Amino acid sequence: MTARAIVTRPAREAAQWVADLQARGIAAQALPLIAIGAVTDPALRQALRQARERFASYRAVMFVSGNAAQYFFEENQPQSLTQQAQTAINTRVWAPGPGTVAALRQAGLPGQRIDAPRADAEQFDSEALWQVVAPQIDRGDRVLIVRGTNTPGAEGGNGREWLARQIAAAGGAVDFVAAYERGAPRLDAGQLTLARAAAGDGSIWLLSSSEAVAHLTGALPEQDWGRARALATHPRIAQAARAAGFGSVTQCRPAFNEVAASIESPHEH
């Protein structure tokens, strides 16, 4: 019997991962550790409207996640926004991984317009994406990075800043826009009970964000994580889990089949 997997992605993504893992015969349960919602700050909302209007003026638009794509092309937006993105033939659309590609395709963007790391890439992140898209940038080109935000004015995570520096070094320029807000979830009593139990019952915590680790330890500041087992999908996330005190931390690529195979391999944990 496989150990229970605790899926900590945002709620929409977690539900899909749980369903896919359960279909594979893995006992999985969602415990979203990042809350996602539309931007509420008036200045951020105005900036988002302007970015949508200027979509076709960019050499490329990079979406940091499926949530970035979902909230940029949100369902209540006029169909003309997606049509503009489809017809902006000089604007490439960048995605760091397959989840973002899927969200962009769902929004109606044709696959031939989307650039992303190969399916067998070592990682799905800004570094892997840059290896694919670097030749596109010439002096004077502008790139829009669509991201989430924790606080108004924040400019995204370390990977986004790294990508912006590479674009600048190639002679380009970067604009950031927040399409959604990220924050700590409000865990209810049942979720807190689940988290405490999973800290020591052999459950495997599937960690796909360093931010999620911080939210977990913030929600349970007195919890001992020495018996907890984590599966991290990036070296930075693995480092955050170890710093939080997780007793067992392994790492794998964020591709579904590799995550599932790691969960199914007891000797790896």
Query: What pLDDT score was predicted for residue 77?
Result: 64
pLDDT (mean) for 163-190: 95
Lowest mean pLDDT among 141-155, 171-185, 212-226: 141-155
pLDDT (mean) for 38-43: 92
Which sign does the torsion angle of CA 259, 194, 241, 102 carry?
positive
Check pLDDT > 90 for residue 153.
no
- Give the list of residues 6+ apart from residue 37 with CB closer than 8 angstroms, or none: 180, 181, 183
Check pLDDT > 70 for residue 80.
no
Query: What pLDDT score was predicted for residue 125?
Result: 85
Burial class (CB in 10 A: 0-12, 13-18, 19+), 13: buried
C-alpha 243/C-alpha 247 separation (Å) is 10
What are the structural domains of the chain?
A: 5-34+185-268 (3.40.50.10090), 37-183 (3.40.50.10090)
C-alpha 74/C-alpha 107 separation (Å) is 8
Query: What pLDDT score was predicted for residue 44?
Result: 93
Q: pTM for the whole thing?
A: 0.77
The 10s digit of each residue's pLDDT in 228-245 is 999 999 899 999 999 999
Instruction: From residue 97, give the alpha-carbon distance in Å to each of 44, 66, 77, 108, 137.
Output: 25, 9, 24, 17, 20
Check pLDDT > 90 for residue 58.
yes
